[in-house]
Each structure stands twice: as structure tokens, then as C-alpha cells.
Chains A and B, each alone.
Chain A
Amino acid sequence: MRSIGILIEGKDGTVSRNSLGAVSAARGEDHRLFALVPDGAAASYAGALSAHGVHNVVDMRFEDEAPAAFDPVRQAEAVALAVGHFDLDALVGVTSAVGKEVLPRVAAQLDAPLVMDCVEIHLADNTARKPLYSGKTVGLVQLTGSTPLFGLRPNVYHPSLAPEETRTVSFAVPPGTDARLRVRKILEPRQEAVDLAEADIIVSGGRGMRGPENYRILEQCAQALGACVGASRVAVDSGWVPHTMQVGQTGSTVNPRLYIACGISGAVQHLAGMKTAGLIVAINQDPEAPMVKNADYAIIGDLFEIIPLLTRELLRSG
């Protein structure tokens, strides 16, 4: 019997879909799953975790005065303690904003091997596949040593139901020993901003958008699709949109089920951030643009004509 820990994230009392995907990925014949919940919401997550195959929900309770809403140092300390306490053989999480802060801190504390951005994991032999060299290659890696840690690329593993008898265990986390680093405040994102890395559908605009004012037509289209809006680096560097919207090698790595690239040529550095998307649509006036060749469907033409038509058609037929 192997004990597998899963670092759980959620928001407003709901487990994130990617965390449920991680639970699904971690299941196995002889696995006992421990869902580690460091954000205080174990009670509201328990139902969904149970439905997806978790055996133990670990409700982490911090004994010092309530830490900030999100404190990566405290969370990592707690998770590292839980790995020892529950004698976990491996730990799985998501390469999300939270995972990027917490998983490497845990790995560093435990001096344990960690692979982030995995697109496939096999806990039976502790191997994983991950894109390397700007997504131009895929490596098969093996982790050895105590407690291997895996960070899954978002949207790769989807949740699937496998109900289990679940019990909730309370886990007391003693007051922190390292007070050198403090979270002073958390600046909330602009209201409409959503985490691109975890978005299901993205509509992205590049140099072809010609200016910031034109992003409105993308936003309207995104709204009709329930999508997030992304951008190329040219759009960011030109100051049209904030850096948080950049997709690509030096922006966000995204993995939506649908990516619509509007007026984006498809430079390798852009492709590096989105080429694993489920389905890619290119809207470009140049039939020779690399994005067209990297798309499943393309419409060749002027985006200022096509995008509004697309929005209208989506609303009409939706």
C-alpha cells in the first residue's frame, strides 16, 4: 500500500478542478490518497474529494494566529510536516500560482526531487513526462530518493468520479519556526482578470490588434464564449495590455481546451506557451503564418471583420 499526498487548492469553498484532476491522476489500485488542505476549507471540500477517490482529507489547522489568506512559507512547512507525519510516499500538486510557490518550498525543505509542469505521471515507477526546451521536446524523467513531488500542468488531468469512504483527519500545525519572511498583503487581481494558466478557453490577440482600444472586440467575443483574453508579447511590450495577459515562453503557459489566436503570427516563443491546447483556431490574414500551420482550424482574413462576426454567430446560435 502506498500513501500519496495531494496538495489541494480551492476558492470560495469549492475545490479547484485541477486539484480534482490531480486526485484523479494520483489514484491507483494500492494507493491511499491523502488530500492535504492547508487553506482551512477542508469541510466544504470533503464531499467533492470523497467523490473523486480521496481516502483521507487532512484538515490542516495552524496553531499560531491566523496566517495571511495565503502564506506560502507556512503552507509549505505544514505540507512538509504532513509528509513525515502520514509517511507519504509521493506528493502531487498542480503547477498553478499556488503550486509554484508551495511545491518547490516543500521539495527544498525535504531535499526531495520535484518535477513541475508534468503532462503525464506514473506513480508506480515515479516517472513523468514534461515538455522541455520551449516545448519542442518531451522528456521522460524518473525521480528517485525520498518522497518524489510532481506538479501537473493545469488542464491535463480531468476530474473523474470514483467515490470512496472518506474520513477527515485534523492535523495540528505547530507555530512557525521561521518568521523571517512575511506576507504583508495580497493585492487582488483586477476583477475581470482570471488565471490564464487554468482557463478553459482563451481568445488571444497580437500585433494584428493594432492598439489597446481594439481589445474590446476580443473581450466581447470572449464573453460570448465564457473565455479569458490573452495576448502576444508584442501586445504587452507595446503597452496595450498588462504583462499578466502574455502567453508564451516568458508569459503564461496555458493549456485550454480551445485557444483562438487572432492576429498572432505564431513565433516559437508564443507557441511554447500554448501548443498543447486541445484545439487551436487561427484568425490571420496571412495564410503562411506559422500559427495557421499550428492550428486545427484557420480562417484567413481581416480580424476586424471576422471577430465581430464570430461573436454575433456565437450569441445567435448559443
Chain B
Amino acid sequence: MKIYVCVKHVPDSAATITVVDGGRIDENITFLLNPYDENAVEEAVRIREHHPGTEIVALTAGRQDAAGTLRSALAMGADRGLLVVAEGLDSQRTARYLEAAIRRDGAPDLVLTGKLSIDAVGYQTMFRLGAMLDMPVINAVTALTVEGRKVVAECEAAGGGRLVMETTLPCVVGAAKGLNAPRYPTFPDIVKARKKSIETVAAGDLEIESPAGGVALLSLEPAVQRRRGEVIDGPAGGAVKTLVHRLREVERVI
């Protein structure tokens, strides 16, 4: 089997984000493999355990530094990496580059993604990729079985329910947290990953058809949310009474 795993290089969620020039972030912070994409890589590795001969290609579109995220995927077990160097991407462009890079590289049986990127909160790349590759898409998957060409996936639905969907390979699957517990690479894994190959492709070398439109970021501001931070003092009984009074009579939220 040939599995492509799309991984995104995103700011560490714990990093302090500083807005510069009113429209972008200071990128001098730690970037990591998008958390859900870790689940996608882990799932690929588990599938390979049951399907010997499987090749796992980790794929990203982003700045040159995104190679760091490919290294993380390689340390988790991906066989090789593919980096499309591109900037100013929105979802429509991202999907086009990922599709072009996959088609140029080989014929996927399975394309894995995370269910969501935590920086852009797009909720859509996998669906676009599926439409372009002409493959069915199942997202937010918490359980996956691949038997022969048959794929059964359980995914998140309203109110904590689950949707069980069935399809066949080739398809696109977006991983949710519950799918598996991503492994922590060991030191030898990390050393081994340094020897694996990462192929870099310039965006210009992939001939994509420009989308008719897209999503442009006009400005970015720090989220300011002034909270009163009022500590209600005194013995617990009195404090609770005061709180309930505030919620009911002053704030009118209950």
C-alpha cells in the first residue's frame, strides 16, 4: 500500500503569539507537527504493521522550515518526506499543491490528514483534497479498519454520537484524537529519521490551476478579552450566595 500523510507545521499551542505589521505573526517561535496530524502519522504506522510492504510518505506545504515537521513525522515512522515550498496559502491553494505533489509522486491507496489544523482552523483541506483526487472523504475519525480494499470508519457526530461510514480504498481519512495514542519517538528513532530523505519541490514547479478566488487575511489582531477577574471573598457560604445573586440578578445568565 502507498499512504500519503499530510502534516502541517503549526505554532506550538503554548507559544506566545505576537502580531507584527498588523497582519502576520512573529514566526520566531516554536513550530510543531499539528496535533491531529500526529494521530494521522500514528495510524499510518499502525496500518503498515498489518500491511507489510506499505510505504508512508509524509507531505507538507509551507515554508522551508516545515521540513522540521516532516522530520518529526519521519521519527514517528514515516518512510520519506515531501516538502512543497509555498507561502501565503489558503485552503484552496493548499489542497491544490498537496494534490499536485501527490499525483507527481505516486498513486495513493490512502491519504491521511488531521481533522483540523490548530492555527488556521480550516476544517476543510481533506474534503478539497478528496474532491480533487476524486476520492471519498471521511473526517474526524476515531476508529478505522482497513481490510483488503474495504474501509470502515467511526467518526465524531453531534452530541458525542458516532457515524459509522463505509467506503473502499483509495480514500481520504482525517484523524481525530480518539483514533490512537501517538508514539513518542525514541532517540534512535530520531537519529534514524535524520537519514531518511526529504524531497523539496518549489511551488512553481507544480503546475496548479489557480482558484477563481480564495480567502485573504486582511488583518490580524491580538484577541483582547477583558475579564473582571473579580474574586468573591469571604466564607464559602457567603461567597456562593453572592455569586448566585450576581449570575441571576446582575448578569442575568441563569
Contacts and interface: CB of A to CB of B under 8 A. Distances in A.
Is chain B found bound to chain A in the same assembly? yes
Given A269-B14, A297-B232, A146 B213 contact: yes
Contacts of A132: 119-121, 220
Give the size range of B's interface with the partner.
35 or more
A257 B248 CA distance: 13
A162 interface: no
Interface of B: 11, 13-14, 16-17, 19, 25, 35-36, 90-92, 118-124, 127-128, 130-131, 136-140, 142, 152, 154, 156-168, 171, 177-178, 211-223, 225, 227-233, 236-237, 239-241, 243-244, 246-248, 251, 253-254
B228 to A, nearest CB: 5
Contact of B220 (A105, A127, A138): A138
Contact of B178 (A243, A278, A306): A243
| Centre residue among B11, B118, B217 by max chain A CB count within 10 A | B118
Contacts of B213: 112-113, 143-146, 148
Contact of A195 (B158, B167, B227): B158
A187 B164 CA distance: 7
16 contacts: A97-B156, A101-B157, A111-B211, A113-B214, A136-B222, A139-B217, A143-B214, A145-B213, A181-B171, A186-B161, A187-B157, A195-B158, A244-B160, A281-B247, A294-B227, A299-B236
Interface in A71-116: 72-73, 95-98, 100-101, 103-105, 107-109, 111-116
B120 A268 contact: no
B227 A114 contact: no
A257 B67 CA distance: 42
A96 B158 contact: yes
Interface residues of A, number: 98
Nearest to A133: B17
Interface string A278-300: 11110000010000111111111
Contact of A193 (B131, B160, B214): B160
A131 interface: yes
A109 B131 contact: yes
Interface stretch (A50-58, A59-67, A208-216, A309-317): A309-317
Contacts of A140: 217-221
